[in-house]
Structures are given as C-alpha cells and as structure tokens.
Amino acid sequence: MGGMPRGFRTSVIDPWAPARRGQAGTNDLYAQHRPPPSVLIVRSWRARIAAAVSLIALIALAVGVWAWRTGIPSRSAPMIAAPSMAGLNYGVPRTVSGEWVGTQWLRSESSGGYWESTRPALQADLDFIQQHRLGKVMRVFVGLDEAMSWDPATGFKGFEQSALQNFSAALDMFDAHGMRVLAVLYDQQETGSSGNFHFEALDGAHPAMRQGYLRAADQFLGRFGARHTVIGWDLFNEPYNSLAQDGHLPAPPHDNPVSPNFSDQTVHDWMRDLYRTAKAASPTALFTFSDTTELYWNPLPDLAKYSDAVDFYDIHVYDDHPSYPNWRWILNKPYVVGEAGASTTDSHYENQALNSSAVAYLLDHEAAAGVSFVLAQGPAFSEATGFLTPTGAAVATFLTKNPTKS
C-alpha cells in the first residue's frame, strides 16, 4: 500500500553517470571537479575506520551499561579482612532490667551514666551471640559526647576518664569473645541524650565548639584508634541524613529524629576535616562515614560526597525487596553493609517476617556483590526466652551453611 502515487514519475540524478558514460563536456561541473580516485579511496577508508571506531565505542558502552544494570561483575572488589561475613548492628547494650539508655551506656553511675548496669547486660549479650553463632562483627555506638565534659558555649573541655576506662573494658569483652567492632564515634539522632552530637557546632556561629569536636576526636583516636578490636571507625552515623537534607527529616524542635538541614557543602567540609583529624591521630586505622541515602538508592551516586573522607564505605540498606547495585563497577574502595533490614516506611524493619527476608537476601548475595560483611538490623534474639528471632535465625542459618564465612 505504500510507495509513490500511481502515475508519479521521477528520475534519480547520478552526478558521476556522464563521466562513466564518457559524455562529460565542458559544462559538466561534476566531471570537472571530481576528486582523483586515490583521494576517494583515502576518504573511503578514513570514513570506514571512523565508523568502525564509533561502532566499537557504542558496543563497549552498551555492554558496560548492561553489565552495570544487571550486576554482572567486571572486577574483583577490594575487601576488608573480617572474622566473619555476617554479624549484627548491635547498637548499644540495654541495662540488666531491659531499659534502653541509648548513647549513655558508657558513663559510670557516679557521673550520671549506666555502666554498672549495662556492663553485665553486654556480657550476657556477647555470651548469647557467641553461643548461637550470630557472627563475629558487631556495630557499636560510642556516642563520644557522653564521655565529654561539656561547656554550653565552647563545647568540649575534656573527657570523663571513667567513661574512657569503661570503653576500654568493653573492647576487652569483645576481644574475649573473638569479636571485632565497627565503632560509631559521633551520632545525631536523640537530641535529649547526653551522647548526642551538638549540631550547632556546624552552624558557623560556634567555631570553638567545632574545633573542640576535632580536638576530642584527635585525643580519643590517638588512644583507641589503632586498637585491633576495632575493624573500622564510622566517624559519624549517616551525616547526610542526620545533618543535611538528604533524609528529608524535620528541623528541630520536632520529635526525633530531626536534622538541622545544613547544606551538603557544610556537612562535607565537616566530614573532610574530621577524617583528616582522625587519620593524623591514627594513620593505620580505617575510617568511614555511613550512608543511607546516596550509594544504594541512587543509580548514579555522587561519590564526591565521600571519596576524600573514607577508607571504605559503610552502606545502610533498608528495603523490603533488596537488590544489590553493581558496586564492583561503581565503588573503588572496600564496602560493607553496616545496617541491613526491611524498609523504614511504616517501620517495616520492625516486622520480623519482612526484616528477616531482607536480611537473608543481603547475606545470601553478599559474596557475589563483593560486600566484605553484612550486619543485620533489628532484634536478633531474646535473652528472656532464650530464642532467636527470625532475623537472628537468618544470620545463624547463613553462617551455619557457610562455615568458611563465620
């Protein structure tokens, strides 16, 4: 049905036809200006080579995009040597009566803390974790603010020495159980906690407070940074989520969690300065800043947010139906999943059926994804009943089936 209308006549002009027929005359401009055959051959080969190069480049790009999107690994991932490929995002110990005290667990009772009650609870937890094969890497929140003597105007004045001694004792307990710790230095989640970071230090109006935080990190990491118990230091928990705007958290005053909603530049400058301070204090230690908004959810993550401030990536994945990006292609430093769980939407990570399923997937596929280790979020066990939760069972099952990874 297509083509030209019936009765329509046309002719195709071939500019070289007269010359081929030997009919070129003085008025035949095409014939007069026709390039020599040798020039035509050179042009033809150049065009073919250019076309071939372009085609090869397009094929390579297409293969690269396909491999990146489908997760086909292209290279071996740099790894952190860990005693197991699974463990827990432990957080902090409760008291022996089960009370949640957050980042106030290290101070002694004589200075307003809970150590005398959290220490035996930590001992019991570590015994249970070891007995039930829940991994040998635990993510633990220090909340360094709780160990500080504080001036409301200028910030850090020094350390409460008993808190530092208690932290050393806690590391001894992990050592005794053959476990290593991913330690979180600063955290901003619970504004009422004595262990919460005073974010006004970064508002530009409190330079002495900002400098005090760097001085505190220098002193603390100069003492503990190279401790073998600590496999890595998360210098600030999810800074772009809890200090900047990536997490879309409300500004204070508001119910926790909140964020001062600083600019990315303000937060990045702080991260860079804190990292440099930490690295100078303990050159051999590994440092990072955990992420929950950029590296998993963004298909083309902005690595400039982290590249000059981390030795490895600590990525937090909360997804009911997780699927690893091809981090082998994207990231050029080791990476771990420091928090693994179901979606934060409607607190799905508190639903054991959803959470255990997400954790199981992330564990089962971590080796193929090049992840050094995965730490499960959420309650893994109940000492009161002596049983594992479904999330804990997912961790224990993975390590039982993969003894070389335990």
Q: Tens digit of pLDDT per residue, the chain (406 long)?
A: 544 333 333 333 344 343 443 444 444 544 455 556 655 555 566 666 766 666 776 665 554 544 544 445 455 778 999 999 999 999 999 999 999 999 999 999 998 899 999 999 999 999 999 999 999 999 999 999 999 999 999 999 999 999 999 999 999 999 999 999 999 999 998 888 888 999 999 999 999 999 999 999 999 999 999 999 999 999 999 999 999 999 888 888 878 888 999 999 999 999 999 999 999 999 999 999 999 999 999 999 999 999 999 999 999 999 999 999 999 999 999 999 999 999 999 999 999 999 999 999 999 999 999 999 999 999 999 877 789 999 999 999 999 999 877 7
Secondary structure class of 382 (helix, strand, coil): strand
41: number of Cβ within 10 Å: 11
Domain ranges of the chain: 29-69, 80-405
Query: pLDDT value at position 79?
Result: 93
- With beta carbons less than 8 A apart as the criterion, state whether 395 and 88 touch: yes
- Can you count the helices (H) and strands (E) in the chain? 12, 12
Task: Using alpha carbons, select from 191, 286, 275, 292 the residue that is nearest to residue 238.
Answer: 292
Instruction: Report the length, in residues, of the chain.
Output: 406
Place of tokens 């993975």: 398
Distance CA 327, CA 371 (A): 9
- With beta carbons less than 8 A apart as the criterion, state whether 145 and 103 touch: yes
Task: Using alpha carbons, select from 293, 292, 300 the residue that is nearest to residue 325.
Answer: 300
Instruction: Give the CA dihedral 214, 182, 89, 301, nearest 10 degrees.
Output: 70
Secondary structure class of 270 (helix, strand, coil): helix
Q: Phi then psi for 238, rounded to 5 degrees?
A: 45, 60
- With beta carbons less than 8 A apart as the criterion, state whether 136 and 180 touch: yes
- With beta carbons less than 8 A apart as the criterion, state whether 138 and 181 touch: yes
Class of the CATH-defined domain 80-405: alpha beta
pTM of the model: 0.82
The beta strands (E) that lie in 187-267 are given as 230-236
Distance CA 27, CA 13 (A): 16
Q: Around 43, how many Cα atoms within 13 Å sit in the side-chain half-sphere?
A: 6
DSSP code of 330? H
Pairing of strands 374-376, 381-382: unpaired
